Copies of this chain bind each other. A is one copy, B any other.
Amino acid sequence: MEPVNGSWTSFGGDLHLDLTERRAAGTGLRAALEDALREAVQAGRLAPGTRLPSSRALGEDLGIARNTVVEAYGQLTAEGWLSSRQGSGTTVARRAAPSPAVRPARPQARRRTVRHDLMSGRPDLSLFPRTAWLAAARRALATAPHEALGYGGPLGRIELREALTHYLARVRGVRTDPDHLLVCNGVQQGLGLLCAALRERGARSLAVEEYGLPPQHAVVRAAGLTTAPLPLDCEGAQVEHLGPRNGAVLLTPAHQYPTGAPLSADRRAAAVRWAREQDRYVIEDDYDGEFRYDRQPLGAMQALDPERVVYAGTAAKSLAPGLRLAWLALPDALVEPVARLKVLADTMSPVLDQLTLAELITSGTYDRHVRRCRLHYRRRRDHLVAALAEHAPHVRVTGIAAGLHAVLQLPPGSTPEPELLARAEAAGLALSGLGWHRAAPADEAAAPALVIGYATPPEHAFPAALDALCDLLRRA
């Protein structure tokens, strides 16, 4: 944009002052301005330290003589509301009222003190590649056309959908294309949109794994579907229980969340067969598919039938949950309804992070980052396993071939889970019990088990967290 003449370059900021009412009540111009400014400072609308517009700029804004503003500023400075210093303009005095107190602050939920964070479902946020991300953002913004910043289609930016098409094919074996990918704000939103679309098609019940993520179950129910739990065993969810009543099934085939078993090949085939025969859908939540350590990589189940399996992936584990970047690879029949619901929800997902992630993927930086994280987390897992073998050999560690968490199963007769969790909380140790993950209340009390997110703490805090955990388990 060409430079404009006028006062804006010398202007510290915008200021809303309404003189109309005061003028209508017969107050003179300068007095009205003084009143309005004084009231704004007193009420805290203008915070201490705020720089006021220059007298010239404010005069132009209000359509009054500059001198009137100078006089009003002078009066309020004399009264102590404003402070004026050569060269730095006029600011609101520091002794003036603090931030706007419209009403008492809302009571905050009591936060227990967390000294060791082993909550599952979170990556080590200190690994977020800040420098690489900014560099990718710069490259992305340098080449993005202006229209990329405007309103676009509900599927998301084409740059990211193209990058994901190739990346997901290569790394997870997903079979899709940019016309069938939808970028959403976290899997949470994607699941909500899917459930709403399924309900429109007549679904009333979604089968879920017996153990899972309660916030996901809440999203399903908010969309008007009931959750029907499927029992789990060492081959994953017992999909033979799927029936005509279920409108779809939500599975974590690569690494059951949280118990850790992969869904067996037979069960994968059976679930797809059920979906075909009953005209139903499988939702594959591939929440940590990029993190596998010992066994052969398990490809996405979606490849078995892209018209029956919805693939849901995310950057929450590989980069950061705060990005809220996730994607759905949709069957053709679901593209229109899900995209329509996305428009109603929020038009489309924010574009800058999409452009940046696309650049990160196509430049190869994302692959290198994931690989680095994988080695990092594998080391963490090995430490966890070794420490438990030494200090708490009675604990069985499961679900560790992949992912960022482990399930620790205590022998029957150990301290009951609620008591164990209370002790953990008292020790400042944040973790969750397996019981919290149940999709429905259990018939009988199970043996206690803990879900441990070993990726969560930053590197320097991991050893102490591990010590605290071992200490808890030794006495369990």
Chain A residues with a Cβ under 8 A of chain B: 1-2, 4, 6, 8-9, 11-21, 40, 43-47, 50-51, 61-63, 99-103, 105-106, 122, 125-128, 130, 133-134, 137-138, 141-142, 146-152, 162, 165-166, 169-173, 175-177, 179-180, 184-186, 188-189, 192, 215, 218-219, 222, 265, 290, 296-299, 306, 320-325, 332, 335, 343-353, 364, 367-368, 370-372, 375-376, 379, 458-459
Measured in the bound complex, the distance between the Cα atoms of B324 and A299 in whole Å is: 34
Nearest-neighbour CB distance to chain B for A185, whole angstroms, equals 4
Say whether A375 contacts B16, CB under 8 Å.
Answer: no
In the complex, chain B residues whose CB is within 8 Å of the CB of A100: 165-166, 169, 175-177
Closest 9 A/B residue pairs (Cβ):
A322-B351, A45-B169, A13-B367, A149-B320, A185-B346, A189-B346, A125-B146, A8-B371, A149-B322
Nearest-neighbour CB distance to chain B for A410, whole angstroms, equals 28
Closest chain B residue to A147 by CB distance? Answer: B125
Closest chain B residue to A9 by CB distance? Answer: B368
Copy number in this complex?
2
In the complex, chain B residues whose CB is within 8 Å of the CB of A351: 320, 322-324
In the complex, chain B residues whose CB is within 8 Å of the CB of A180: 102, 106
Q: A134-B137, A134-B141 are in contact. Are A128 and B146 (CB under 8 A)?
A: yes
Nearest-neighbour CB distance to chain B for A250, whole angstroms, equals 16
Say whether B11 contacts A344, CB under 8 Å.
Answer: no
Say whether B170 contacts A296, CB under 8 Å.
Answer: no
In the complex, chain B residues whose CB is within 8 Å of the CB of A306: 102-103
Q: List 12 A-B contacts (CB under 8 A).
A: A14-B290, A40-B170, A44-B169, A101-B177, A103-B306, A105-B177, A128-B149, A185-B350, A188-B344, A192-B345, A322-B352, A350-B353
In the complex, chain B residues whose CB is within 8 Å of the CB of A147: 125
Could you say which of B2, B349, B372 contacts A4, with CB atoms under 8 Å apart? B372
Closest chain B residue to A296 by CB distance? Answer: B20
In the complex, chain B residues whose CB is within 8 Å of the CB of A1: 126-127, 372, 376, 459
Say whether B50 contacts A150, CB under 8 Å.
Answer: no
Q: A45-B175, A102-B306, A347-B324 are in contact. Are A367 and B14 (CB under 8 A)?
A: yes
Could you say which of B218, B222, B346, B458 contacts A188, with CB atoms under 8 Å apart? B346
In the complex, chain B residues whose CB is within 8 Å of the CB of A172: 16
Q: A106-B332, A169-B45, A372-B1 are in contact. Are A324 and B344 (CB under 8 A)?
A: no
In the complex, chain B residues whose CB is within 8 Å of the CB of A192: 344-346
Q: A18-B297, A179-B106, A367-B14 are in contact. Are A99 and B324 (CB under 8 A)?
A: no
Nearest-neighbour CB distance to chain B for A21, whole angstroms, equals 8
Measured in the bound complex, the distance between the Cα atoms of B46 and A268 in whole Å is: 24
Say whether A375 contacts B8, CB under 8 Å.
Answer: yes
In the complex, chain B residues whose CB is within 8 Å of the CB of A165: 99-100
Q: A100-B165, A169-B45, A297-B18 are in contact. Are A322 and B62 (CB under 8 A)?
A: no
Q: A106-B332, A299-B16 are in contact. Are A45 and B323 (CB under 8 A)?
A: no
Say whether A126 contacts B146, CB under 8 Å.
Answer: yes
Could you say which of B13, B61, B173, B321 contacts A150, with CB atoms under 8 Å apart? B321
Nearest-neighbour CB distance to chain B for A365, whole angstroms, equals 10
In the complex, chain B residues whose CB is within 8 Å of the CB of A162: 99
Say whether B332 contacts A352, CB under 8 Å.
Answer: no
Nearest-neighbour CB distance to chain B for A335, whole angstroms, equals 7
Closest chain B residue to A18 by CB distance? Answer: B299
Q: A18-B296, A188-B347, A346-B189 are in contact. Are A367 and B105 (CB under 8 A)?
A: no
Say whether B125 contacts A320, CB under 8 Å.
Answer: no
Could you say which of B19, B321, B371 contacts A151, with CB atoms under 8 Å apart? B321
Nearest-neighbour CB distance to chain B for A43, whole angstroms, equals 8
Say whether A320 contacts B150, CB under 8 Å.
Answer: yes
Say whether B323 contacts A171, CB under 8 Å.
Answer: no
Q: A11-B368, A133-B141 are in contact. Are A324 and B297 (CB under 8 A)?
A: no
Q: For the A-B complex with A16-B171, A322-B352 known, give 19 more contacts whose Cβ atoms are closer than 8 Å.
A: A16-B172, A16-B297, A19-B296, A20-B265, A45-B170, A102-B177, A103-B177, A106-B180, A106-B335, A134-B138, A149-B320, A189-B346, A192-B345, A215-B343, A323-B352, A324-B348, A345-B346, A350-B350, A353-B353
